[in-house]
């Protein structure tokens, strides 16, 4: 049977072979990993569709193949393998003509006689043919070494980064981005995170602010369904379920694994999923449904972030929410200056879908819930 490159993410049209995990003639079991493939979403392992023996592998590491292209041919149990096929069905190549000395010279030089053009009688390969081939290869290697030595240090974008760049450029080109930003006093959120720490530690979970953001966003979105939507061609589709992607830094660039039905999970469950998916996206072990299908995305500035940013929307979605560094600042409470914890939130939205008033209301509802999470405590746990 032929195993073809599947669509491992939304709109994926091609993938780059990273490395083969099997070899020709090897026996494999159902769902045994066959190959690592890198797409614009992530590096994923593709499993065997059936048990059997590997007959042939198609494509070399670093080669880009289109979705639908044959990657592996497997002889399922009971089928003939390549070694068992009748010799009459094979097409052997003619053996090169060469004397024993010439063959030994070729072997010592690492030269395949099948790649050498013979200049002797009747096309026989002679020692001078081997020497010319060896000289030519040495010259090619020297030229390549010189080119590499004189090449610029920046060799351009990696295939994965190039695909991210194309996606970002298309989103920026096609979507009228508008960003609203507001500053919120988040002392109660900081305190709640501290209060939940013993329970989280007991459950083996590290609760981060992104877990609170995802949970509160999931609770807020039902009142603002226009932001929980995706474009399908020229149609805008709103979704009843809330699947929140969160931007994650990987060696290949940004990726956005997905917390599915985030509103049905507690903060601790969201935090556990965030940690699992972040590790998985970096290791290339996530399933396709875990890296696609989000209805809205969040991003966080982290420890190295600035005050705030204006993120690019993860098309075909219509909005992305940003949360940035929370830091101590003086705040005014009841007319007195006190120490507080302050942070910025941003909402970047598609202006075709909503206007500034709707966006401001949505961001303020989200910010107020994060500022006073105590009233949502029962829903957060």
Active site residues: 351, 355
Q: Evaluate the CA torsion angle 31, 32, 38, 43 in order and state its sign.
A: positive
State how far the Cα of 24 lies from the Cα of 169, in Å rounded to an integer: 41
Going by C-alpha positions, the residue among 168, 173, 189, 174 that lies closest to residue 256 is 168
Of all helices (H) and strands (E), which one includes residue 68? none
Please report where in the chains the tokens 């003619």 appear, as a residue.
94
How is residue 12 written in tokens? 């994926």
Contact 2, 70 (CB under 8 A): yes
**Crossing angle of helices 356-371 and 209-220, rounded to 10°:** 130
Contact 72, 34 (CB under 8 A): yes
Distance of CA 77 to the CA centre of its chain: 34
Length of the chain: 381
Please report where in the chains the tokens 């990987």 appear, as a residue.
250
SS (H, E, C) 263-292: HHCCHHHHHHHHHHHHHHHHHCCCCHHHCC
How is residue 105 written in tokens? 């010279």
State how far the Cα of 344 lies from the Cα of 218, in Å rounded to an integer: 19
SS (H, E, C) 350-365: ECCCCCHHHHHHHHHH
């Amino acid at each position: 049977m032929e195993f073809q490159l599947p669509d491992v993410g939304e709109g994926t049209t091609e993938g780059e072979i990273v490395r083969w995990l099997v070899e020709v003639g090897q026996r494999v079991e159902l769902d045994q990993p066959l190959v690592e493939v890198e797409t614009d979403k992530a590096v994923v392992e593709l499993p065997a569709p059936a048990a059997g023996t590997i007959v042939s592998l198609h494509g070399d590491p670093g080669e880009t193949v289109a979705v639908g292209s044959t990657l592996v041919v497997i002889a399922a149990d009971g089928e003939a393998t390549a070694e068992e096929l009748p010799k009459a069905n094979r097409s052997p190549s003619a053996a090169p003509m060469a004397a024993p000395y010439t063959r030994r010279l070729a072997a010592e030089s690492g030269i395949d006689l099948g790649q050498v053009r013979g200049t002797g009688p009747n096309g026989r390969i002679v020692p001078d043919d081997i020497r010319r081939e060896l000289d030519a290869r040495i010259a090619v290697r020297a030229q390549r070494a010189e080119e590499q030595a004189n090449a610029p240090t920046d060799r351009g974008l990696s295939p994965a980064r190039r695909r991210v760049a194309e996606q970002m450029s298309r989103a920026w080109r096609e979507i009228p981005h508008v960003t609203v930003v507001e500053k919120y006093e988040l002392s109660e959120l900081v305190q709640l995170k501290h209060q939940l720490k013993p329970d989280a530690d007991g459950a083996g979970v590290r609760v981060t602010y992104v877990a609170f953001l995802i949970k509160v966003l999931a609770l807020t979105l039902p009142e603002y369904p226009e932001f929980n939507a995706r474009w399908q061609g020229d149609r805008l589709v709103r979704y009843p379920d809330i699947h929140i992607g969160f931007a994650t830094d990987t060696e290949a660039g940004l990726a956005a694994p997905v917390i599915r039905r985030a509103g049905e999970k507690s903060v601790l469950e969201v935090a556990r999923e965030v940690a699992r998916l972040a590790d998985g996206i970096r290791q290339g072990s996530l399933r396709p449904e875990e890296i696609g299908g989000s209805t809205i995305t969040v991003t966080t500035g982290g420890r190295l972030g600035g005050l705030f940013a204006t993120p690019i929307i993860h098309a075909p979605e219509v909005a992305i929410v940003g949360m940035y560094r929370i830091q101590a600042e003086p705040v005014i409470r009841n007319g007195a200056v006190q120490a507080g914890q302050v942070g910025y939130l941003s909402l970047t939205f598609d202006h075709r879908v909503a206007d500034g008033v709707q966006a401001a209301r949505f961001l303020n509802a989200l910010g107020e819930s994060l500022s006073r999470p105590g009233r949502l405590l029962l829903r957060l746990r």
